[in-house]
Structure 1
Amino acid sequence: MLDFSSFRLSRLACAWLLVPAAITLASAQTAPPRPIPSLAGAAAPTGGTTLREAVDAAWALSPAARSADSRRAQLQARERAASSWINGSPSALLAQRSDRFNNNGGLREYEAELDLPIWSPGVRGAAQRELAALRLGFDPQQQVARLKLAAEVREAAASVAVARTERDLAERKHSEALTLAQDVERRVKAGDSARVDGLQAQSLAQQAASGREQAQQALARLQNQWLALTGLAGVPLLDETQPSANPVLSPEHPALQAAQTRVQAAQATLELSETDKRDPMSIGVGITRERSAFGAASENSVRLAIKIPFGTDNRNAPRIAAARAELDAAQAELDATQRQVQTELASALAELDAARRTQASMAERARLSTEVQALVAKAYRLGESDLPTRLRADGEKFEADLSLARARVGLQRAISQLNQALGLLP
């Protein structure tokens, strides 16, 4: 009896020494382990939503989309104004002259005149070319805004997929921890395990429950962010088609097209500034009715006038300098955009290769940890292994499963980022 008590005390002391390390590990069921949640299960949509539909929904809520019709109408109105033969709004002049306040000799004169501003030579054509360049660049700018929004949607979908994977694994971990705690409790009652093993298993079950709640809260927060971004409850799959083995940038990349059209618009603005060197000329057409004295006959006359403003450096130099500065900035932005899209493509290709290697490595790690966990669990059921060893094996398997699930989402995210770098919408 003395030897048995010493054996139990020694075993109890060893178990207490291993408690801090074992608490940080996960537990698993004694039954065969559940399969790792796949990407499809981690990001399954709730309403059959596709990624393209999500981008369309987010675009419909964006300020750029909601103001697009008004901006098009603004360009059309400016084009109609540039097509008119007058350059501005007409003005009317009404005047009366008399001598009733001094000698009152009967002098009366009435005058009416209509003043029409007209285009200076070459200004109308330059204005129309500027508006044509702005209209040409409107759609590429909308595409750039849509592409940037697509990047947000893709990243949000990936974040929700990762969070749902972590939530599913946390629920599995909690279920396995409860099963293990019940098994250990039966062993304690049967005298096959020390009381400290039962307390440790219960503590790990509570820890798994806390982890499950944290994962659920993180998922709920990301789902709310998704709802605010797209207005949709369902989160689509990250199942974009992978581009060719050696993708290259297309000249039709939205960012490149938008930068090129901005250069064209800046050139047209500079041309207009250099052509429009004075305020609009105006033509006046007037009629005058005059009576020189009481009893005299009234005389009518028609007056034609032309007003030609003079251009000065005080008016023209700031406008031309500003237009040249805009052109320089647009050309610099085009150069920067070309470098940026090339860099983004190279980075996306490197990340895709890294994601593939990571997934392969994590798959091998998950396979090995599954085999080790199965052997340790069998040994524990046969009484050939202790609880801390079982917990270490369970924890390693859980970490391997979580890393593999994240790697799967990471691979799909890398494909999405490559499509994003190529300027492709879902």
Structure 2
Amino acid sequence: MPFLPLLRRRVAVFAGLCVGLSMAHAQNHVVTLRQALEAAWTLSPSSRAAANRQAELQAKSEAARSLLAGSPALTLAHRTDRLQTNGGLREYEVEVGLPLWNFGMRHATQRQVAADAALQELQIQLARLKLAGELREAASQLATLQAERNLVARKLDEANRLAIDTERRLKAGDTARVDLLQAQSAIRQAEGLLSQADAALARARGHWSSLTGLSTSPELGEQPGVATEHPALMVARAQVHSAQMRLALVEADRRDPMELGVGAARERAAAGAIGETTMRFSIRIPFGGDTRNAAKLAAARAELDAALAEADATQRQIETEREAARVRLETARRNETLAAQRAALATQIQALIAKAHQLGETDLPSRMRADNEKFDAELALTRARIDIRRAVTQLNQSLGLLP
């Protein structure tokens, strides 16, 4: 009976409208990229490691402010002649060794720790920027797939309405059965496209949720920013400064720390003799040498050379990425203009052919070709508009700007 196919198509149209309304409702609950970045940062491994790294640097800073170069040492000694003449000789000695800073070492250590702390802060900023880049790309991909899904759902709705109209015309004897079969085939094609779009959208949402822990849709509303000093370049320069401070520390560390000894001794020379208590002060001065620090100096100089080369390479890379991002944005704007012109023409052509088809002046294949061309043009325009927003986010990313 023709009633059942008609009923199924109307149910499909209703279901498509319900899904579209649910998608629109979901889009009303959006989250900004800044909010998404904060949520993603709390989940990132870099955020969790940063706290421990800061605690490490804090401990090093406190050690560098100490008056001693290391931990004190306690020495206990006992001397007796019990195993030899057993004349009653007894001696007990206790001494505390205090390691002292060599000249310039304490100040060099403090500068090294301060440089490492500054580098750590900049590395956190760079890690947040890299995470923002991942979020920007994921948000752009999600927006593209959502828009494509909405267009495919509308195409399915239009295909269902065209099939209903074709079936009505078939009953009236105004068209052939092959037209109805073609219209029904178009429905199946649109349903397949919708299924693929739903699957791709679900994967994109899963990726977004894994990054941020959020189920709400992101909003792409960034505007082109103003160029500032890029965090990657700041990190590279901080690495150079840290390497310089490490080299200065190695150059100052020419020998092991001196050690001040403070001790007391209790001695009895023989049995029946009166015990005597004495104090002892000593200083231990290790000798240095070029061979002691030769390997450390070579490693520190190599690290500095590598940091300088890395800073130069980072500068060139940032300039290249910024120029490429500007060109990408200009290209996206030109493509959007062309896509808008194409969509306007395709819409006019489809309207004319649809009207002619209603009047019986053209056949169904011509109508379907016009519908497909309009769909392709609208899809291209939708992608072009999202590409502009994606290009803006990529430009801001190249400028080192957070959302």
Above 0.5 in TM-score?
yes
Q: Which residue of 2 aligns with 1:53?
A: 35
CA contact (8 A) 2:156 2:191 kept: yes
- Tell me which moved more, 298-307 or 159-168: 298-307
Q: Which residue of 1 aligns with 2:259?
A: 282
Count, aligned residues: 383
AA matched with 1:348: A
Aligned-residue offset at 1:43: 11
**Secondary structure, in 3 states, of the residue corresponding to 1:109?**
strand
CA contact (8 A) 1:43 1:236 kept: no
**Secondary structure, in 3 states, of the residue corresponding to 1:236?**
strand
AA matched with 1:336: A
**Secondary structure, in 3 states, of the residue corresponding to 2:217?**
coil
Select the residue among 366, 370, 375 that pairs with 2:343: 366
**Secondary structure, in 3 states, of the residue corresponding to 2:265?**
strand
Select the residue among 170, 188, 213 that pairs with 1:231: 213
Select the residue among 292, 306, 325 that pairs with 1:315: 292
- Tell me which moved more, 346-355 or 284-293: 284-293
1:346-361 matches, cutoff 5 A: 346-361=323-338
**Secondary structure, in 3 states, of the residue corresponding to 1:255?**
helix
CA distance in 1, matches of 2:135, 2:34: 10
Q: Which residue of 2 aligns with 1:86?
A: 68
Q: Structure 1 residues 323, 43: closer, same or farther in 2, change over 3 A?
A: farther
Deviations 1:303-336 (A, max 9, x none): 2222222223443011111111111111111111
Q: Which residue of 2 aligns with 1:7?
A: none
Aligned-residue offset at 1:359: 0.3
AA matched with 1:291: R
Deviations 1:237-295 (A, max 9, x none): 2111223xxx5x43x32122211111111111000111101111111111111112221
AA matched with 2:139: A
Q: Which residue of 2 aligns with 1:4?
A: none
Kindly indicate whether residue 398 of structure 2 is the aligned counterpart of residue 416 of structure 1.
no
Aligned-residue offset at 1:233: 1.4
CA contact (8 A) 2:30 2:219 kept: no
Q: Which residue of 2 aligns with 1:27?
A: none
Q: Which residue of 1 aligns with 2:384?
A: 407
**Secondary structure, in 3 states, of the residue corresponding to 1:284?**
strand
CA RMSD of aligned residues (A): 1.9
CA distance in 1, matches of 2:327, 2:25: 25
Q: Which residue of 2 aligns with 1:179?
A: 161
Q: Which residue of 2 aligns with 1:3?
A: none
Select the residue among 81, 98, 109 that pairs with 2:80: 98
CA contact (8 A) 1:372 1:393 kept: yes
Kindly indicate whether residue 301 of structure 2 is the aligned counterpart of residue 324 of structure 1.
yes
Question: Which segments of structure 1 move beyond 6 Å, counting only runs of 4 or more?
Answer: 41-44
Aligned-residue offset at 1:74: 2.0
5+ residue gaps in structure 2? 1-16
Kindly indicate whether residue 369 of structure 2 is the aligned counterpart of residue 392 of structure 1.
yes
CA distance in 2, matches of 1:220, 1:170: 15
Q: Structure 1 residues 113, 136: closer, same or farther in 2, change over 3 A?
A: same
Aligned-residue offset at 1:390: 1.1
Q: Structure 1 residues 42, 305: closer, same or farther in 2, change over 3 A?
A: farther
Q: Which residue of 2 aligns with 1:271?
A: 248
AA matched with 2:390: R
Kindly indicate whether residue 108 of structure 2 is the aligned counterpart of residue 126 of structure 1.
yes
**Secondary structure, in 3 states, of the residue corresponding to 1:127?**
helix
**Secondary structure, in 3 states, of the residue corresponding to 2:91?**
strand
Aligned-residue offset at 1:79: 1.3
**Secondary structure, in 3 states, of the residue corresponding to 1:293?**
coil
CA contact (8 A) 1:289 1:300 kept: yes
Select the residue among 99, 103, 127 that pairs with 1:145: 127
Kindly indicate whether residue 256 of structure 2 is the aligned counterpart of residue 261 of structure 1.
no
CA distance in 2, matches of 1:150, 1:307: 55
1:189-208 matches, cutoff 5 A: 189-208=171-190
5+ residue gaps in structure 1? 1-33
Q: Which residue of 2 aligns with 1:23?
A: none
Instruction: Give the structure-1-normalised TM-score.
Output: 0.86
Aligned-residue offset at 1:174: 0.9
**Secondary structure, in 3 states, of the residue corresponding to 1:295?**
coil
Select the residue among 93, 113, 118 that pairs with 1:136: 118
CA contact (8 A) 1:286 1:302 kept: yes
Q: Which residue of 1 aligns with 2:7?
A: none
Select the residue among 76, 96, 103 that pairs with 1:114: 96
AA matched with 1:374: A
Q: Which residue of 2 aligns with 1:9?
A: none
AA matched with 1:86: L
AA matched with 2:193: G
Q: Which residue of 1 aligns with 2:136?
A: 154
CA contact (8 A) 1:51 1:236 kept: yes
AA matched with 1:287: A
Deviations 1:2-35 (A, max 9, x none): xxxxxxxxxxxxxxxxxxxxxxxxxxxxxxxx9x
Aligned-residue offset at 1:224: 1.0
